[in-house]
Structure 1
Amino acid sequence: MAGLIQAERASFVTSSWKEVVEMRARARTLLQLLVWERGWTYDRFKREYEKAARELAAAAGEPPSTATVEEQTFRRWTAGRVKGLPNHPAPAVLEYMFGYTVRDLLSPPNELPPDVAGKYAPTINESDLAMTARDAAAHAGDAASLSVPDMTLDQLDDDVVALARGYNRTSPVEVYRRSKELLDIAQSMLERTQVPRQRARAYLAAGQSAAILSAISFDLGSLPAAVSLSRTAALYGQVIEHGPLQAYAHGALAFLAFWGGRPAEAVRLVRTAQQFGGLGDTAMTRLLVIEGRAYGHLGNQVAAERAVRSALDQSTGTRDELHDDIGGEFGFPSDRVAMSNATTYLLLGDADGAEKAAESALRLLGAKPEDQRPLLISTQAHVDLARARLLRGELDGVQAALEPAFSVPTEWRGAGTLERMAAIRGNLSQADFRGAPEAVQLGERIEDFTREASANRLGAAAPLAIEG
């Protein structure tokens, strides 16, 4: 080691002017460059610093100074790892020692006069080499400490899965609160870890939480918030190149696009979503159902019916971890497919197709245990059944279909249900029903139902879309 140090010292002492210039370019601060040029080690710097502090105190008529400097502080000063100015009396001592302002000393040596640069030949010793090794080890240790326990990420994953699966049986306000909390936790994890594997898990949890937040924002009546959160989920999915998450988020954006009156954009977004890799049958079925709805809004009966048939025929046996393994709000079971297809048939004016699909949805839902029936989906299926019967002028059948919906608690009256109810309210004003006592009474009940709904109070002032 001694031979190496002597060789290094000889190399620096005999440096050419070019090498001195290169040394200046390497220096992180003017202070570091001046220390190098003087050939000072930390021990020499400390002695000179203490001496300068005593001289300043004597000149000011103050008691002898005991100011000193620790090696770690010295390294921080010379390496430029200081925010602001050092504490008293360091600025005055450093300026006394070197003749430059402390701001200049702690800044890169860009303006140092050439005559000063060549005055001293730099040197290093074993202390410098050892401190360099300690700095490198400390930096590596800091990087290694930027991680989180895997069990913490396991709990976050479990909480996201539980919320997604319990979405349709949990109060919308509670879903909002919990999904927001999970998104905050995932974002905090991203700030605390630099381990690639952990960051990928945290990004996925953040994207899933944002997707659930988007869904509940829509149910609560806020289309702009839902759109923004779906885009957030899509971006998180893009960061980790997670095909199912990106497909889910783009499908949600397509759904929100036709609710915002942009069905052509919805078709384009579905096409994009279908191109992501790793999608299973459930993901493709969901996208085809959304595509059918978009074509229904466009009045393209051929394309809409083709999408509906394709959705029902999707059976390759392929699964993915989001739509199938987690499922819940990310899933798209047959009852939800039937309910959504009923809405597509209504958009096409096909009362028979809508009634058949709505009855199929209610039958499938009825086969589930009561505590596993998604209230939002069943309510929308009841309203779509009523709309199908209204198309045929069966007012008695409309009232019978709506009775279960009228009993739904206010917090479960989501935006989709309210818009469907609004379509019935509008159709009751048509010539065939105008003035009929049953129609008047039913219209008033719908208005009361809507006025009391949480989504109506929380959402935007304008209707989200015209579904009928």
Structure 2
Amino acid sequence: MARERREPRTLLEYLIQQSDRTYEELAEEFSRLDSRAAISARHLGRLARGERDLSGSTPATRRALQAMFGRPVDELQRPWAPENPSSVPEQRGPLALPGTGPERTILAMAAQRARKYAMLAAEATTPAAIQQLAEDVQRLALAYPQQPVNQLIGDLAETQDTLFTLLERRQPPNQSRDLHFVAGITSGLLAKVSHDLADPHAAMLQTRTAVLCAEQAGHPGLQAWLRGMQSLVAYWAGRYAEAVRYAEAGREHATEAGGTTAVWLPANAARAYAALGNAEQAKAAISEAEQAWTRVRPDDLDAMGGICTFNQSRTLYYAADALAWLPDQATAAEDYATRAVAAYADPHDPAWAFGDQAGSHTDLAIARIAGRDLDAATDALTPVLELPAEQRINGIVHSVRRVHQAVTRAGLTADARDLVDGIEHFTHTPANALPR
């Protein structure tokens, strides 16, 4: 028996019903209209039912909704009034056009399947096919710091499956090395996905597989980068001594490769040392990371860009993140954090990363709490608390909780009630709690 369609509560809900598409399908298409926009099916449903106010959404979200439904955003949440003929919308905007509904999703899936078939059809993989895979992975590496992970998981998993299928066949040595290199990066990216969704066990499994690929590729830069990824996962999982060991294990490979991972590894170690309370080692590691820039020779891993390369902005953020652990380094932490916040101020900068930007703001808040300036700390943290749920990845949630801990340690909980409430509301719905 067919389910009776309920009366729409808003114009937005009416339009969604008329599109005859699920909330999941609409949410999947959402980010294609604006690369900076993302929404979950659950949040779209709340907006449609009038349970959430569109005025509180990000500008990118409002632009994408307007483009998707062909109506101004202030009109989309007006109460639905079926008795008023003028409230019935004419079919206009993207939903009325062919090729923007389920057809486009089907075509995208067909294109992806065709690409996979072309790569798997031949017994030996052609250089052109490997180049296409490398370009696919580079696109994902560039997108990773700037887009919510739920927009990238599908492509990453599909690419990894294709690569592993190819590697299960006998390949000429040169092609095998190139495929292992690309597979190592892809598995490293999936390790980061697992970490961002608060699954350190899956993250470490992916990195171990990736390290095997890097060894088969004979690529020291990739081996060093993956040790850095293992160090990162261990750090955010609270295994600080292990994080130091992974960072140290990658140094020999980083020196041989000469890429920016030679900066990332001591920066990783600095944060872990600081979390362990070893201030001298932490400061020495920060100094080592800064000095390593004079010896960097970008390699082909750096050429992938995005998350595969370490930049000056991240150096500032990691230094701030390390020093924020050390109460007697609050002044230095505030200096690094202020510079990092400025470095991440432009979302159109290719080096911009929403996670590192958020971390820089939380470190600035912690440093200001140490100075007992709650108003300034609240100003620093507010942009983070306004992040949509899709961007509340594991590292950001942990960083926000560190601000809560700083307030408690400083004995300022009673004076910071609004700030504490905002933090607790933010951490209630991390990205890994959203339906996927």
TM above 0.5, one fold? yes
Q: How many Å apart are 1:193 and its aligned residue?
A: 4.2
**Residue among 320, 324, 332 paired with 2:310:** 332
C-alpha spacing 1:294/1:432, structure 2 compared with 1 (3 Å): closer
Shift of 1:274: 0.8
Contact 1:450 1:456 in 2 (8 A): no
1:296 to 267, 271, 274: 274
Between structure 1 and structure 2, the one with the greater Rg is: 1
Q: What is the correspondence of 1:424-443 to structure 2 with a 5 Å cutoff?
A: 424-430=403-409, 432-436=411-415, 439-443=416-420
Tell me the equivalent position of 2:285: 307
Residue 167 of structure 2 aligns with an amino acid whose one-letter code is L
- Residue by residue, what CA displacement relative to the aligned partner does 1:349-371 show, whole Å, maximum 9, x if unpaired? 21111111111111122256367
Amino acid at match of 2:196: D
Q: How does 1:107-256 map to 2 (within 5 A)?
A: 146-256=123-233
User: Does the CA-based 8 Å contact 1:415-1:456 persist in structure 2?
Assistant: no
Alpha-carbon contact 1:335-1:365 (below 8 Å) kept: yes
The residue aligned with 1:77 is none
CA distance in 2, matches of 1:236, 1:272: 17
Aligned to 1:100: none
**For 2:361, which of 382, 389, 396 is the aligned residue?**
382
Tell whether 2:339 aligns with 1:364.
no
In structure 2, the CA distance between the partners of 1:241 and 1:281, relative to structure 1 (3 Å rule), is: closer
Q: 1:400, CA displacement in angstroms?
A: 0.5
1:192 Cα deviation after fit? 3.8
How far does residue 458 in structure 1 lie from its aligned partner after superposition? Answer: 8.4
Q: CA separation in 1, counterparts of 2:435 and 2:347?
A: 31
CA distance in 2, matches of 1:431, 1:292: 24
**1:36-68, Cα deviation, whole Å (9 max, x unpaired):** xxxxxxxxxxxxxxxxxxxxxxxxxxxxxxxxx
Q: Which amino acid aligns with 2:340?
A: A
SS in 2 for 1:432: coil
The 2-side partners of 1:366 and 1:422 are apart by 23
1:195 to 1:227, Cα distance in 2 relative to 1, 3 A: same
Q: Say whether 1:394 aligns with 2:385.
A: no
CA distance in 1, matches of 2:350, 2:133: 25
The equivalent residue for 2:24 is none
Structure 1 residues 33-44: aligned runs within 5 Å? none
- Structure 2 residue aligned with 1:280: 258
Counterpart of 2:45?
none
Question: Would you say the 8 A contact 1:282–1:331 is kept in 2?
Answer: yes
- Cα separation, 2, equivalents of 1:262 and 1:218: 13
Unpaired runs of at least 5, structure 2: 1-121
Counterpart residue type for residue 269 of structure 1:
Y
> Partners of 2:247 and 2:241 in 1: how far apart?
10
Q: Normalised by the size of structure 1, how large is the TM-score? A: 0.63
1:334-392 deviation per Cα after TM superposition (whole angstroms, max 9, x unaligned): 11111111110011221111111111111122256367621111111111111111111
Q: 1:434 to 1:378 in 2, by over 3 A?
A: closer
Q: Hey, what does 2:83 align to over in structure 1?
A: none
Contact 2:227–2:249 (Cα < 8 Å) also in 1 = yes
| Contact 1:213–1:229 (CA under 8 A) maintained in structure 2 | yes
Name the counterpart of 1:421. 400
| Aligned AA (1:185) | T
Partners of 2:411 and 2:130 lie apart in 1 by 60
Q: 1:424 to 1:458 in 2, by over 3 A?
A: farther
Partner of 1:33: none
Distance 1:458 1:296, change over 3 A: farther
Contact 1:227 1:256 in 2 (8 A): yes
1:187-214 Cα distance to aligned partner (Å, 9 max, x none): 1111344211111111111111000011
Residues 18-167 of structure 1 aligned to structure 2 (within 5 Å): 146-167=123-144
| Contact 2:311–2:351 (8 Å) recurs in 1 | no
Q: Do 1:414 and 1:455's aligned partners in 2 also have CA atoms closer than 8 Å?
A: yes
Cα deviation 1:143-176 (Å, max 9, x = unaligned): xx63023221111010011111111122211222
Q: Does the 8 Å contact 1:264/1:298 carry over to 2?
A: yes
What TM-score does the superposition give when structure 2 sets the normalisation length? 0.68
Distance 1:281 1:188 in 2: 30
Structure 1: how far apart are the matches of 2:146 and 2:233?
Answer: 23
Q: Output the CA distance in 2 between the equivalents of 1:454 and 1:260.
A: 16
Change beyond 3 A, Cα 1:411–1:346: same
Instruction: Give 3-state SS (helix, strand or coil) of 1:347's partner.
Output: coil
Q: 1:414 Cα deviation (Å)? A: 1.2
Say if 2:365 and 2:376, in contact at 8 Å, map to a contact too: yes
Matched, 1:445 2:429: no
Corresponding residue number in structure 1 for 2:330? 351
Query: Contact conserved, 1:146 with 1:195, CA < 8 A, in 2?
Result: no
Cα distance change of structure 1 residues 270 and 426 upon mapping to structure 2, 3 Å threshold = closer
Kept in 2, the 8 Å contact 1:334–1:361? The answer is no
1:281 CA drift (Å): 4.3
In structure 2, the partner of 1:134 is none
CA deviation after TM superposition for structure 1 residue 222, in Å: 1.3
User: For the structure 1 residues 392 and 288, does the alpha-carbon distance in structure 2 shift closer, same or farther, using more than 3 Å as the test?
Assistant: same
Q: Could you say if the C-alpha distance between residues 408 and 385 of structure 1 is closer, same or farther in structure 2, counting changes exceeding 3 Å?
A: same
Following the alignment from structure 2 to structure 1, what is the Cα–Cα distance between the partners of residues 174 and 183? 14
Is the Cα contact below 8 Å between 1:169 and 1:372 reproduced in 2? no
**What is the one-letter code of the residue matched to 1:312?**
E
Task: Give the distance between the partners of 1:351 and 1:222, measured in 2 at CA.
Answer: 31
Secondary structure of 1:157's counterpart equals helix
Name the count of aligned residue pairs.
313
RMSD of aligned residue pairs (Cα, Å): 2.2
Distance 1:364 1:257, change over 3 A: same
Note the C-alpha offset of 1:291: 1.3
**Contact 2:195/2:203 (<8 A) preserved:** yes
Q: Distance in 1 between matches of 2:131 and 2:280?
A: 47
